[in-house]
Structure 1
Amino acid sequence: MTNPSFNQLKREERRANRAFLSFFLSNRIVILLTVLSLILFFIVPLVKLVFLSFQSDTGITLNHYTEMLKQDRLWKTLKDTFIIVICSSVLSIILGVVAAWFMAYTDIKYKKTLHMTILLSFVLPSYVLTLSWSSFMGNQGIVAGIMQWFNPEAAPWSMYSYGGIIFVMGIHHFPLVYLLTVNVLKKIPRDLEWASRASGAGKWKTFYLVTFPLVLPGVTSGGLLVFLASLDNFGIPAFLGIPKNISVLSTLIYEEIIGFGPSAFARGAALSVILGAIAIVGTLLQWLAVRRIKSADTVITDHSPRYMLGKHRMWITGAIWTFLMFITIVPLFSMVSTSLKKAYGLPFQTANLTLDNYKYILLKNPKVWQSIQNSFVLSITTLGICLVIGSLLAYARVRKPSWATKSAELAIALPYTLPGIVFGLAMIFAWMEPIPGWNPGIYGSIRILFIAYVCRFLIL
């Protein structure tokens, strides 16, 4: 006779085998779906963009690249791009390092409020900051009004110029340098600086020999991040540069695409590949700089001041507040005052003020409320999806490190590495016809914005 306990063990073994097989298959299915999703949403758009840049009616060709490289306009655009990006990055680095030093090393007053105010110029969208400054420095702006009190023929500095683009871009991005530099400064051991001072070195020599080498990784990382942000920025050079025929690579891509023509998309794709390659190189350099910061981290973050400003404390605090108000609050006030006028060009007087502009926008224009609704729906939905999927991917990357999780991390990082206009163009090419002969109707709808947002910001 068969032992009952033996039969029970056999049944338990079969159940365990079925459970393991079910888990193994479900695990494999999840991994397969994840890989397919990464390829479809993150890799295919970029591959299509690169492929289109080499595609022509006769097959694969380098003609789009060779033709553009022969054009004087491309070389002028490249020169303008690097002039604007490098000069604005230098301005951002100077402002960011000075602000970080005062916040980390001195006993300047109201540090918490100052910290938030410094970030304001970056929190404001670039096109809002651009509109503010163009209104502030315009012929009917506040600066023009003040100058004409003294000289009726005087005209303010035009923001529609190289200098205007560099200035607005520089003040918009300097908080990035500030954020990376201030934390590094607070982690520099003050014992090293005391030892340098005790050995006879003065303040400047101590800064040059001790402080500057230790803070350099933070400054470098912040500078490269600003370089990438400036390379990516479309709103500032488009608004201030296009009216004066000043083009950078991001605006040139836009002009190529809207210019149509038989090879407009291919030329735009080729320009996008060039811009994307520059951005990827910059990202790798920035990543190396961040690694140097991490390797130089100390355990303790020192928040106490190292230099007492003494009798200069009040006027230095006032000067910093005045500067921050000048670059953010005053231009915003100028834009708000313009929005309250009955007609552009009228002086800012009580008789010329009205709320009709806001009544039309908020009560008589249904497109505004549709736009607000779309913005909130996209933002909240993207936030929820990125929190869930991003957390799961992060958990897998940390708890189960392998070549697969590293590859997944690299795949979701690529869209954020590329300039926005490059990734936007890749999404258009991918979702117009994901599979040859099949158009799912995603392009031209809000769904493509949702897909692009999730792909772009998932790495964060």
Structure 2
Amino acid sequence: MRNTAWVKTRKAMPAWGGEHLLVSLLVLYVAVTTLWPLARLFSSAFQAGEDGTPLGLMLATLSSRSTLRALSGTLQTALLSVVVSTLIGVALAFAVSLLKLRTRAALTFLILMPLIVPSQTMALAWIELFGAQSPILKPLGLAAAPGSTNPLYSVGGIALVMGIEHMPLVFIAVRAALRALPADLVEAARILGIPPRRIGTGIVLPIVMPSVLAGSLIAFTAAIGNFGVPALLGIPGRISVLTTLIYQRLNGFGPAAAGQVATLALVLAAMAAIAIVMRNVVATRLAVPLPAGAPFVARRSAPVLEMLIWILVLILSLVPLAALTMTALLPAIGVVFGLDTISLDQFRAVLDNQTVRRAFANSLWLALITAAISMLVAVPLAFVSSRRQNPVLRLLDIVIEAPWVVPGTVVALGMILAFLKPLPLVGVSIYGTMMILVIAYLARFLPLVLRPVAAAAQSADPSLDEAARVTGAGLLRRILAIFLPGILPAAAAGAILVVMTALNELTLSALLWSSGNETIGVMIFALQYEGNSTAAAAVAVLSTLLVLILAAIATAAARRLPRGTLPWVD
């Protein structure tokens, strides 16, 4: 007996040592890609002023007129956008979940389209839809007068577009709560003769209200960190928000403005942190415990209402993209759309443009390398997290989520401050190179792979790994031969989500790109900013097609994925 126990202990010791080494390497990875940049950013905001006053730089920045104006603009546009997101998201979640719809899957995908399509592309699509030369509204006599300012170049316009873009966040949260609704609860109300409308507003809505609030807070967090919409709509309309003010300060003053923009980023991070804390409080304190039972299944069909929902969803998701595509098919700005004016000249022009081709190649390379490395990190991290619970792993999980939760502008600034000076030992600075974009992407998008992998790891059978460990199998063999096959579909789905998101990323790239290292998002923004709307539309359409192809591939593989991995698949 003693000899057997001694042998088992000897066999377990190398495994334990290997896991400690693995955790140490993961901590080092997160420290380099996340902890150091964020710590460097926040420390620079606490510098003394020019006269030596403690916190003088922060106080001067916070009290400046431009900061107060940008803060006001951020709060106005974010709060108004949350109203739009909540009203539309809750209504669509109720309709999709509580009605028997024949086209539920297609409707769900289209409802989530504003979240799938990049922010700057959606903003550009809405600009083309509401512009004076709108190929859809102008023939109907509904377009703005020629020479007039686009009505979206306003606080209300920014709030509208951001509200529609972030509406799926509310929709997802509320739909998840409605899918957990017990059927007995609704059936009992029906037996009592309560009208369907009162069941929805008096019984169901109060139950899912915590999810409504949580989804609204997520939408608020996304709105304050949004750069694409305020940049394309706010800069022409002279509406300042914190993300665009940071961009303009860095463009105008460069790294010399690091302390000021770090303070602005700290304000954004603080607002995001408050929203996250409030969301957690809502989820833990206000959540309504529901009795166990069969989930509610919709039985009431409503053909007329389904048709109205389709009209609304098409207006929100496809009509702006149709306007964008029609603009891209015009040979030049100001040409009236018609069968005799349709042309592929803009697509040929952008594909013949060396800078645009390089931007597509850069974005694709960045997205693929980010997805691959994130998979390599997420798999062993999920392995040790699912088998060992300790404070280091819990803290690591929180730190990993930070770059995804806080606004992307904050992450980009941290990268600039952390890697502006030459690296120790090698004496080379990666600022202005592709490498700084790679590190920023790795920090930002790791959670997209880690979430589905961690969910799959929790459902894996730990006895297989334990048996392999007892028989002396090494750590690497246990991960590759036993753990990886079970979670590989989830890891692949997470990697596809990373590629879809990173392919058209703008917030990080707008602050970190350099000549020769352009990305698709930067090209769309630059072309539109220069006034070349048709070329910007062509690039946006091509990038959207790439994203939709990836979404189709992910959907085809959805049967092998854990439930909830793809938000548009039930």
Summarize deviations over 1:14-60 as a string: whole Å, max 9, x none: x9999888767655544433333332222111111011112256778
- C-alpha spacing 1:156/1:92, structure 2 compared with 1 (3 Å): same
Q: Secondary structure at the match of 1:259?
A: helix
Q: Residue type of the partner of 1:107?
A: K
Q: Secondary structure at the match of 1:177?
A: helix
Alignment of 1:339-350 (within 5 A): 339-350=328-339
Q: Secondary structure at the match of 2:139?
A: helix
Given that residues 147 and 155 in structure 1 are in contact (C-alpha distance below 8 angstroms), is that contact kept between their aligned partners in structure 2?
A: no
Moved more, 368-377 or 449-458: 368-377
Tell me the distance in 2 between the aligned counterparts of 1:45 and 1:154: 45
Q: Residue type of the partner of 2:46?
A: F
Shift of 1:270: 0.6
- Which of 292, 313, 333 does residue 324 from structure 1 map onto? 313
Given that residues 132 and 334 in structure 1 are in contact (C-alpha distance below 8 angstroms), is that contact kept between their aligned partners in structure 2?
A: yes
Tell me the distance in 1 between the aligned counterparts of 2:20 and 2:138: 70
- C-alpha spacing 1:150/1:216, structure 2 compared with 1 (3 Å): closer
- C-alpha spacing 1:411/1:147, structure 2 compared with 1 (3 Å): same
Q: Secondary structure at the match of 1:146?
A: coil
- C-alpha spacing 1:391/1:18, structure 2 compared with 1 (3 Å): closer
Residue 368 of structure 1 corresponds to 356
Tell me the distance in 2 between the aligned counterparts of 1:403 and 1:169: 38
Tell me the distance in 2 between the aligned counterparts of 1:44 and 1:437: 17
Shift of 1:285: 2.3
- Which of 308, 322, 334 does residue 333 from structure 1 map onto? 322
Moved more, 184-193 or 121-130: 184-193
Given that residues 68 and 74 in structure 1 are in contact (C-alpha distance below 8 angstroms), is that contact kept between their aligned partners in structure 2?
A: yes
Q: Secondary structure at the match of 1:350?
A: coil
Residue 440 of structure 2 corresponds to 452
- Flag structure 1 segments of 5+ consecutive residues without an equivalent: 1-8
Given that residues 143 and 156 in structure 1 are in contact (C-alpha distance below 8 angstroms), is that contact kept between their aligned partners in structure 2?
A: no
- 1:393 correspondence with 2:381: yes
Tell me the distance in 1 between the aligned counterparts of 2:426 and 2:51: 23
Residue 224 of structure 2 corresponds to 231
Given that residues 416 and 456 in structure 1 are in contact (C-alpha distance below 8 angstroms), is that contact kept between their aligned partners in structure 2?
A: yes
- C-alpha spacing 1:94/1:20, structure 2 compared with 1 (3 Å): closer
Residue 251 of structure 1 corresponds to 244
- C-alpha spacing 1:375/1:154, structure 2 compared with 1 (3 Å): closer
Summarize deviations over 1:157-178 as a string: whole Å, max 9, x none: 6111111111111111111111
Tell me the distance in 2 between the aligned counterparts of 1:455 and 1:418: 11
Shift of 1:278: 0.9
Alignment of 1:44-443 (within 5 A): 44-56=36-48, 61-142=54-135, 144-146=137-139, 148=141, 158-199=151-192, 201-260=194-253, 263-291=256-284, 296=289, 302=295, 304-309=297-302, 313=303, 315-362=304-351, 364-433=352-421, 439-443=427-431
Shift of 1:220: 1.5
Residue 35 of structure 1 corresponds to 27
Tell me the distance in 1 between the aligned counterparts of 2:14 and 2:125: 61
Tell me the distance in 2 between the aligned counterparts of 1:150 and 1:252: 31
Q: Secondary structure at the match of 2:336?
A: coil
- C-alpha spacing 1:154/1:241, structure 2 compared with 1 (3 Å): closer
Tell me the distance in 1 between the aligned counterparts of 2:345 and 2:336: 17
Shift of 1:143: 5.2
- C-alpha spacing 1:354/1:195, structure 2 compared with 1 (3 Å): closer
Q: Residue type of the partner of 2:42?
A: V
Residue 5 of structure 1 corresponds to none
- C-alpha spacing 1:19/1:204, structure 2 compared with 1 (3 Å): closer
Tell me the distance in 1 between the aligned counterparts of 2:37 and 2:234: 29
- Flag structure 2 segments of 5+ consecutive residues without an equivalent: 449-570
- C-alpha spacing 1:391/1:442, structure 2 compared with 1 (3 Å): same
- C-alpha spacing 1:200/1:300, structure 2 compared with 1 (3 Å): closer
Moved more, 81-90 or 330-339: 330-339
Q: Secondary structure at the match of 2:235?
A: helix
Tell me the distance in 2 between the aligned counterparts of 1:397 and 1:361: 46
Summarize deviations over 1:52-106 as a string: whole Å, max 9, x none: 1122567783122211232233222222211111111111111111111111111
Number of residue-to-residue matches in the alignment:
443
Given that residues 144 and 154 in structure 1 are in contact (C-alpha distance below 8 angstroms), is that contact kept between their aligned partners in structure 2?
A: no
Given that residues 132 and 145 in structure 2 are in contact (C-alpha distance below 8 angstroms), is that contact kept between their aligned partners in structure 1?
A: no
Across the aligned residues of Structure 1 and Structure 2, the Cα RMSD in angstroms comes to 3.0
Tell me the distance in 2 between the aligned counterparts of 1:108 and 1:156: 41
Q: Residue type of the partner of 2:312?
A: F
Tell me the distance in 1 between the aligned counterparts of 2:143 and 2:126: 22
Q: Secondary structure at the match of 1:109?
A: coil
Identity percentage over the alignment? 30
Tell me the distance in 2 between the aligned counterparts of 1:151 and 1:333: 18
Q: Secondary structure at the match of 1:459?
A: helix
Given that residues 45 and 260 in structure 2 are in contact (C-alpha distance below 8 angstroms), is that contact kept between their aligned partners in structure 1?
A: yes
Q: Residue type of the partner of 1:321?
A: W
Shift of 1:421: 0.6
Given that residues 144 and 155 in structure 1 are in contact (C-alpha distance below 8 angstroms), is that contact kept between their aligned partners in structure 2?
A: no
Summarize deviations over 1:381-435 as a string: whole Å, max 9, x none: 2112212311221222221001111111122122112100110110111112275
Q: Residue type of the partner of 2:210?
A: P
Given that residues 390 and 458 in structure 1 are in contact (C-alpha distance below 8 angstroms), is that contact kept between their aligned partners in structure 2?
A: yes
Moved more, 413-422 or 377-386: 377-386
Given that residues 82 and 216 in structure 2 are in contact (C-alpha distance below 8 angstroms), is that contact kept between their aligned partners in structure 1?
A: yes
Query: Structure 2 length as normaliser, TM-score?
Result: 0.71
Tell me the distance in 1 between the aligned counterparts of 2:9 and 2:189: 69
Given that residues 91 and 171 in structure 1 are in contact (C-alpha distance below 8 angstroms), is that contact kept between their aligned partners in structure 2?
A: yes
Moved more, 396-405 or 198-207: 198-207
Q: Residue type of the partner of 1:323?
A: L
